[in-house]
Structures are given as structure tokens and as C-alpha cells.
Structure 1
Amino acid sequence: MRLGGLALAVVLLAGTLAAAPTAAGAARPGDLRITAHRGAPAGGVTENTVPAMRRAVRLKASAVETDVRMTRDGRAVLMHDPTLQRTTTCRGRVAERSLRSLRKHCRGERGGEQVPTLADVLRLAARSRVDVLAELKGRRWSRAEVAEVVRVIDRAGMAGRVTVMAFHPETLRRVEVRRPGLESTFLVRRWAPVADVLAYADGVTLPPAHLTRTHVAAVRAAGKEVIARKANNPRKWRQLKRLGVGGAITDRVVGYRRWLHR
């Protein structure tokens, strides 16, 4: 986009955000400064498992990022990929297995862990006083699927400490309709579609490479939040500090925490 077009887009973004009310009754998100990506997997700890989340807590992450998918019988479980073979001992699609089947047959490929439900991780987070950034993976989620995620969050008493993320705008709209006030953030790869979806989302999450001072200022001036993902080295950390971005999803929890407090 040429400079003139970019400037116009920013003006329109700021105007749209200023006119859009924050989600009804929404509490501001908790401490997302140091958000552990898929927990804190390591040599003997598989990503998106309870041990990975416990490790993130031990490393003093302020929040954990998780990936959520639905089983065949409509249960919310943690899994990044649509298929099982990269991170578990099973093969095939998550959506083609029941929760019982996952529990019985599938184990984490690094540490033999059980595939956790979203409820499992929220119980841990509630006890550990860390926040949760939960990405609803894949295609547009149905109303019934969104309702199940909201039910799990509410039952855990974590509505004030969970931020829901998604790439699909309609998924976020359904979250807001189902549970006004539940914090949400729009995952994007570029800025173009942000203005419209932030009418009902509370923030935007994108890689540091696409963050600019002007865009960040426009979003924050409207009372919305900016979260950076894939923030894994000092060069990116310096950029976030310079731009005033408060939330970061990182694979380097210890390094980033030490850098922040140096």
C-alpha cells in the first residue's frame, strides 16, 4: 500500500475504533506481558499439556497461551494442529475422535502426557493465578461450539482471566453475542481487516513485523489492546517496548522476563 493509502487506513481505523464501544461490561485483560506460547514445552514436556502449563508457571510466566479444538463429541481440548500425529502417539484428526478415545489411546509425544481439556488447564490456571490466552483454532466456530467454550470458562470461574483469540471474525462475534464482556482479541497477519472486527473484539494480536507506532497508537487510543505474537528475541522485545505494546506471546519466557527486569 502506498503511504497515502496507509495514512487513510489509519485514520479510518482510529475513527472506527473510537466510535465502537468496548464490549459490554468488559473487564480489561489481566497481565499478558509474558505469555508462554503453548505453555512452556521442553525436551520431555509436550506443548499444550498440563505439564507444559505447570512449567510456564514455574518459569514465572504471567499468562499461558493455548490452542483449543473440538472433539467429535463436542468437548474442548488443547491441540494446535487439526491432526494428532505431530504432538501425540495417535494419528488422524482431532475432530474425528471422542474425548474418551483421546484419553484412552493418545499420549504426548515428548512426555507421554494425557491430552488435556480446556477445563483441565483452567483449573490449573485458577490455582496458579496465571491468565489464559485461548485460541479457537481453525475455521469459523459454530454457535454450539462457542457456547461450550463459554460454559467451560464460566464453570471454572475464569471469565475475568481468559482472553479468547481467533483468526475468524465471525467466531469472535459469536463469543461476544454469547458472553458479552468476555475478553477477546483478533488474530491477524496484516492490518487491513482490523477496524471492522474491533467493533466487537477487545484487541488485536499480530507479529512484531507488522506493528507500527501509528497503528498501535490508534488501537490503544480507542481503549483496545495490542498483543504481539512470536516475540522471541531482544530485537523484537526492544521494538515492543518502543511502541508501548504491553502483551507478548513468547517461546522464551525466562529470557524475556529477565530482559524486562534487567
Structure 2
Amino acid sequence: MVSGLFTQVSATADFIYEPPATAKNACRILVKPNLGYPKKPPVTVSMGVLGRVLNGLRQANPTAEILIVEGVCSPVSLPEIASRNGLYELMDDGMRLIDADTLPMQEYPNRLSRRENGEASPHPVRFPTMLAPALLQEVDCRISVGALKRTVLKEQPLISASLKNLYGLFPRSRYKARSPHSRGQLHRPSVPLVLQDVYFTIGHLFDGAVVDANEKFISVDWQPDRGSAVPVGKVIWGNDLLAVDREACRVADELTPDYVEAIEQMRNRVEK
């Protein structure tokens, strides 16, 4: 389990990002923003919040290479989405934007497959390993910057924040289903269940999380890019994805997703 958990909440206008300790001496930092759709906030993370995250990292570490990595969910390319949203104006010479789908990949073992003292840990839901960028193992610090969204899948609400944001790191070539632009395989048997595999393959590697809750996005159905914005006016951040997502739900008056509690319980068993 992550030791020394902390979460912080700020009014959006007052947000000053304080990076995790691992960022301060890192040579390379990976930032995974929610920028998978050619849409403005709150479908995607706002440039105001992302800009303050990048600025906070740069203030804490003037020499690190900062890699902004995302995999899109539409026919529109990542550079085009970044250009439309104004990301390039926030980047200095030590920052680079990378499409996750273009990176070399490797299989990450699911920690739910481990055995401790001859006893089996909880089983993977579907994936004993998952394919994701090898870069995750080659950087010194990893930050997820998510937007707070509620959609409806199979007549159940689904909260997307910093953990669900990691879906964009998985290659569409491996995880596509009917649409070549999405990762439909990661919706089977359900997103809340597959998020357990996501956490225990790559999610546990992340050093920090930020959730942009200046506005929360509410969809009437499964579509994560069509809906309405509800003002919240907050940013939530810390050094643990689950704790940050839990706090974001509390601040935004949303029920804590069952998957957060399930993963927390499994993490206690796997890491004790």
C-alpha cells in the first residue's frame, strides 16, 4: 500500500500544485492528462489545471524531462487535440507530447496473480497481464491528471477520475472491439471490474493524481463526450489515485464508486 497518503483540495482559482516527493529528483516525469477527445472541459482536463500541474512540476524540478502522454479515443489526432485546447502554449523546451499508441509496449503482470506464502491473492478479473507503454518503467515519476465525469453503463453510474484516466495508455490495436478508435475490450465484462486489473497492472505504479473538478461532466448515457457541466469549483490532488478519486467524489457530491472500495480492500490483502 502507498505509505504516507495525502490528499488536498483547493478552490480552482487558488490551486497551486505540490508534486509528490518522487518528482523533485526525477530525471523524467510522465504526465497522463485526460485529453482523449476533441472536446473542451469538462470532457477533457482544463488547460488551467493542467498548466498549473506542469508549472508545479517545473518549479519543483527545473531540469526534468516532462513527457505528456495520452492515447486518443477518436479519429482526431493527439497533436490536433492539444493544439485546439492550447496545450502547446503551456509547454517549455523540456516538455514533450507523445501519443501513447506510438510507444514501444510491454506486458505488465497483474499483481492479483501473485501468491503470498503459498496462498493465492484475489484473482485478476480478465487480464493476468496488460500491454502498456514500456515508458512507464523508464521514468522516475508518474502523474495522472483526470477530469471528473459521470456516465451510465449498463444502467449503472460510472465515475471517471484519475484511475479511469489510465485507459488512454493501453494500445487500441490490442484492446479495440467494434470501433478502432476506442478500447472496447476494456469494457468487458464491465469497466468497474476491469479497473481492478488496470490498477494492479499499471495503476499502482503512479506516484500522484490530480482531478480537475472545476466542473463535473454528467452524461445521460454511456457517451463520455456528450452531456452537461455542473459547477464544482475544486481541484483535488495527492499521492494515491484511489484516495484522490474518493475525495473528488466527496467534494463533488458523488457516491464513491464500488470499484474504489473493492480495489482498496484487495490492495490491503496483496500488499500486507
Same fold (TM over 0.5): no
Q: Which has the higher strand share?
A: 2
Q: Which has the higher helix share?
A: 1
Pair member with larger Rg: 1
TM-score by length of 1: 0.31
